[in-house]
Amino acid sequence: MVNGRKVVIIGDRDGIPAQSLEECVRSAGGEVIYSMTHCYV
């Protein structure tokens, strides 16, 4: 699904952090071009 695509990741501090999503995207063959984790409280 993300193989060969560029991905922007916005993670949630209390949910799934961006670093975890980055690893998933990279292992699936995607390229992370921007990644951040926010707290939405």
* pLDDT given for residue 40 in this prediction: 80
* pLDDT given for residue 38 in this prediction: 93
pTM given for the model = 0.81
Residue carrying structure tokens 């063959």: 29
* pLDDT given for residue 27 in this prediction: 97
The 10s digit of each residue's pLDDT in 1-41 is 899 999 999 999 999 999 999 999 999 999 999 999 998 87
Residues 6 or more apart whose Cβ sits within 8 Å of residue 37? 10, 11, 12, 13, 17, 18, 19
